[in-house]
Amino acid sequence: MVGTTPPPRLPVRDRATAHQRVGAGVSPMLTRLAEERATGVLDREHGTLHLAEGRVVHAESPLAPGLAELLTAHGTLAAEAWRDAEDSEDEGRLVRYGVTPGALELAQVGALYDAAYFALAPSSTPGRFRYGAAHWLASVHPVPVAALEREMLRRRALLRRIWPDPATDGAPLVRADPVAAPAVPTRQAAVLERVDGVRRAVDIARELGRPAFHTLVHIRRLAAAGLVAPQPPPAPDPPPADIAADPYVALLKRVRDALEAL
């Protein structure tokens, strides 16, 4: 009889610590910058975070309307007034042009969390940090990195809970027109009106002068109600019209899509 050593035990992922690891850092680099109280600009694949003494003070993303768009879209501020304040990097000018400090803070913190959602989305390229001067709006509403990361994870979970399929976040959208359409609340209706097979969530957010994440929330609710779907890739052979029109078949297909997306 030959003695054999038992094979080594397979590594088992400890679920509790694995969860903590995920929760502990959306971006380890950002956590480190917060610890060293860095000031400068963090460039990531889908956006930019501005830091001052380790706290996030401003964020921008090509996927989210900026503070300028939020303030000018509804006439809170004239476009020339924004350019003047931005060129002179003078927060006080915004106030002199009629934006109250409270309104500026509300809009700025809204735009910050909005752009950060995309800037901190999982990316395929590493981030790059440049030390430098603080952003000109740095004093309006600084956000601690830990609070921002916690909110980002909460936002991802919120979208997943409304409708698990993320396809509507980035694709051109089409109206689905179910047979028994539910009533649509005013703000969602404004989004639905602009769904035309070409516009994506970010385009609609820009046109409405509304935070992009809010638009994603509205679109996921519309998707869950069966009113909006991502533009499908060109279909090889469409199903017979009488089956597609059957509300039960349509509902079953949406349930199937949702389950597949889980």
Partner 1 sequence: MPGIDECLLETMRLPGARGAALVDWTSGLALGTVGDPPGGDHETAAAEAAELARLAAEQHAFGPGDGTDALDPPVEDLILSNRDSYHVLRFVPTSFDSSVFLYLWLARADGNLALARIRLGEMAERLVLG
Binding residues for partner 1, rule: CB under 8 A, are 70-71, 73-76, 100-103, 105-107, 109-110, 113, 141, 150-151, 154-155, 158, 183, 185-188, 208-211, 213-214, 217-218
Q: How far apart are CA 72 and CA 49, in angstroms?
A: 22
b/e burial code for range 217-233 (CB count within 10 A of at least 16 → b) = bbbbbbbbbbbbbbeee
Contacts of 207 (CB under 8 A, 6+ apart): 194, 199
- Provide the 8-state DSSP code for 6: P
Q: Which is nearer to partner 1, 110 or 178 (CB)?
A: 110
Q: What is the 3-state secondary structure (H, E, C) of 195-222?
A: CCCCCCHHHHHHHHCCCHHHHHHHHHHH
Q: Which is nearer to partner 1, 155 or 250 (CB)?
A: 155
Least separation, in Å, of the C-beta of 184 and partner 1?
9
Return the sign of the alpha-carbon dihedral for residues 130, 131, 136, 139. positive
Least separation, in Å, of the C-beta of 73 and partner 1?
7
Q: How far apart are CA 205 and CA 192, in angstroms?
A: 12
Q: How far apart are CA 143 and CA 112, in angstroms?
A: 9
**CB neighbour class for 204 (10 Å; exposed up to 12, middle 13-18, buried from 19):** buried
Q: Which is nearer to partner 1, 21 or 150 (CB)?
A: 150
Least separation, in Å, of the C-beta of 217 and partner 1?
6
Q: Which is nearer to partner 1, 147 or 249 (CB)?
A: 147
Least separation, in Å, of the C-beta of 157 and partner 1?
10
Least separation, in Å, of the C-beta of 175 and partner 1?
20
Q: Which is nearer to partner 1, 29 or 162 (CB)?
A: 162
Least separation, in Å, of the C-beta of 205 and partner 1?
10
Q: Which is nearer to partner 1, 106 or 174 (CB)?
A: 106
